[in-house]
Amino acid sequence: MQGGAAIDLEAALVALTHGKKLADYTNMKRIGKSTTRDVYYGANSLVIRATLGGYTLVLKALVTGAVDHTNALHTRFEAELEIGDARKGRLPPSPYVLRFVCAFLDDVSLIPGWEALQATFGGGLADRTFVCVMPYYPLTLKSVVSEARRG
């Protein structure tokens, strides 16, 4: 996808996702699984591919310890949420930076893989946490770098 098209897609997704919650998304499936080990990648998050309004999107549920106070979650994730938010414009639009198109607090206990992750941490994760929504691109960074190295 060329730079202008990526920026146009981002703007369309900001409008589409405004005010949506997890219940509005369909076809949720956990992604990011390693091909060499039975583990998932996600950098302190659970990463899900989902559908909304005909678009395939990525939902990233930020993992945190059992906290039931919304202000504590805002404090914990404020910097991450602020810099990557396409609506706030701290990072200018770029075809090389994946910004999220919305973020919201929700009960994430029903998304695929949450129960297993909770069990891994002995039930110590907050079921209510931030979910960041981003465009889905079928390529991984690893596949792009591997292809570039092959020439």
Average pLDDT, integer, range 47-73: 82
- Calculate ∠ Cα 65-66-71, nearest 5°: 90
Least confident of 24-28, 60-64, 92-96, 117-121: 92-96
Average pLDDT, integer, range 87-111: 76
Instruction: Assess contact for 111 and 62: CB atoms under 8 A.
Output: no
Count other Cβ atoms within 10 Å, centred on residue 141: 8
- Tokens 């996600």 belong to residue: 42
What's the pLDDT score for residue 23?
Answer: 95
CA 52 – CA 13 distance, rounded (Å): 10
pLDDT exceeds 80 at position 33: no
Structure tokens at 142: 């690893």
Say what the pTM is: 0.76
- Calculate ∠ Cα 58-62-65, nearest 5°: 155
Higher pLDDT, 16 or 42: 16
CA 56 – CA 135 distance, rounded (Å): 7
CA 1 – CA 53 distance, rounded (Å): 20
What's the pLDDT score for residue 46?
Answer: 84
